[in-house]
Amino acid sequence: MFDRIAGVYDLMNSVMTAGLHHRWRARAADLAAAGPGDRVLDVATGTGDLAVELARRGAEVVGSDFSEGMLELARRKAPAIRWEQANALALPYPDGDFAAATVGFGARNFSDLDRGLAEMRRVVRPGGRVVVLEITQPQRPPLSTFFSVWFDRIVPLLGRFDEAYTYLPNSVKRFPGPRDLAGRMASAGLTDVRWILTAGGIIAIHHGRAP
């Protein structure tokens, strides 16, 4: 599915978020607390926008994804970053190899969320951050009303062009809410787990530390 939509992915992100996704990625990259001299892994990197944001902070970044179609676009966007094909559920890196690990709009797609979180925790060195940027369902009106109109009525219309955009709202509904996700991160072995909500409660950025 991701190979198929790779060509329109960046455009759709900008249209669906009115360009705001860059701001959310910048916030997530700040929360990774990594800079010059640090090696950072961006898991399920897709076309690489979060990896690019991390590289702007001076970190040495590895972007990994299992979709070659997505990675091909990432390579064209930022040839200086290392892009590697890898499964987030079985990362090909040793324990503690990175100063931080991030995932942007990818955890929702993991077929086994707990395993994906445990893998991110495993490859981060003690004290390093794991950051999860995701769409979440706002709990209170008016955003909850806007969210259900946008996600249940407008985005599925895009599904006429590609079923991936019918899958998108469903995957958000299935994904744990902010408190539950924090619990899952703690169960994956992360400590000091916190989160911020932004964009009126539509975007959650969770972060925790490898013990």
Ligand X SMILES: C[S@@+](CC[C@H](N)C(=O)[O-])C[C@H]1O[C@@H](n2cnc3c(N)ncnc32)[C@H](O)[C@@H]1O
Distance in Å, CB of 189 to ligand X, minimum: 19
Nearer to ligand X, 66 or 150 (CB): 66
Distance CA 179, CA 190 (A): 14
Query: What string of H, E and C letters represents the secondary structure of 43-72?
Result: ECCCCCHHHHHHHHCCCEEEEEECCHHHHH
Q: Does 88 bind ligand X (CB under 6 A)?
A: yes
Task: Count the site residues for ligand X by CB under 6 A.
Answer: 18
Among 38, 46, 118, 208, binds ligand X (CB under 6 A): 46
- Scanning 98-106, 151-159, 175-183, 198-206 for contacts with ligand X by CB under 6 A, the matching segment is 98-106
Q: What is the largest CA-CA distance in the chain?
A: 46
E strand intervals along the chain: 39-43, 60-65, 82-85, 98-104, 124-135, 191-198, 203-209
What phi, psi does 198 have (nearest 5°)?
-140, 180
Nearer to ligand X, 127 or 198 (CB): 198
Q: Does 169 bind ligand X (CB under 6 A)?
A: no
Among 31, 32, 49, 165, binds ligand X (CB under 6 A): 49
Q: Does 28 bind ligand X (CB under 6 A)?
A: no
User: At 73, is the secondary structure helix, strand, or coil?
Assistant: helix
Distance CA 85, CA 171 (A): 23
Q: Cβ contacts of residue 197 below 8 Å, gap of 6+?
A: 136, 178, 203, 204
Q: Does 165 bind ligand X (CB under 6 A)?
A: no
- Scanning 43-51, 181-189, 192-200, 201-209 for contacts with ligand X by CB under 6 A, the matching segment is 43-51
By the 8 A CB rule, do 151 and 170 touch? no
Nearer to ligand X, 110 or 147 (CB): 110
Nearest position to ligand X, beta carbon: 46
Nearer to ligand X, 104 or 208 (CB): 104
Residue 179 burial (10 A CB sphere; 0-12, 13-18, 19+)? exposed
Distance in Å, CB of 68 to ligand X, minimum: 9
Q: Does 20 bind ligand X (CB under 6 A)?
A: no
Residues of this chain that interact with ligand X (CB under 6 A) are 2, 44-46, 49-50, 65-67, 70, 87-89, 104-106, 109-110
